[in-house]
Amino acid sequence: MKKYCFNDDQNSECTSYGGMYQWGEAMQYSAGEGARGICPVGWHIPGYAEWVSAWNVGSLGFNIIPFGYLNSSGSFTSAEPDGDTWLSSNGPNSYDSFLPMDNPVSDHFHYDQTYSFSVRCVMD
């Protein structure tokens, strides 16, 4: 599985911030809302509707460490103080959830599947 780390530092950056994955790797080449993807057994990558619902009621139950992403041209971009994570909803471009840390509203965008974002798993 190909994992990208900020500044290509597999040790300290991946330990601190976690990895970033292209859509196919994150989803383990399976499609569908709530797919397990790279999440451990009993967990899944949330779809758009699940994410919005959980975000709006504050029930996600995890802290986000904001960091950047890898764009489709291979350049790392720092997104601090915000974060981005893949959602399992699929289309011509895949959903990313943009998480503004200073605002209680989560925005959602479509990105080409060659971008690399973090993955947040939620319990089944």
3-state secondary structure 32-48: CCCCCCCCCCCEECCCH
The list of the chain residues with pLDDT below 50 reads none
- On the 0-12 / 13-18 / 19+ scale of CB atoms within 10 A, 116 is buried
pLDDT digits (tens, 9 = 90+) for 22-51: 988 999 988 788 899 999 999 999 888 787
Q: According to the model, what pLDDT value does residue 32 have? A: 81
H/E element holding 98?
strand 94-100
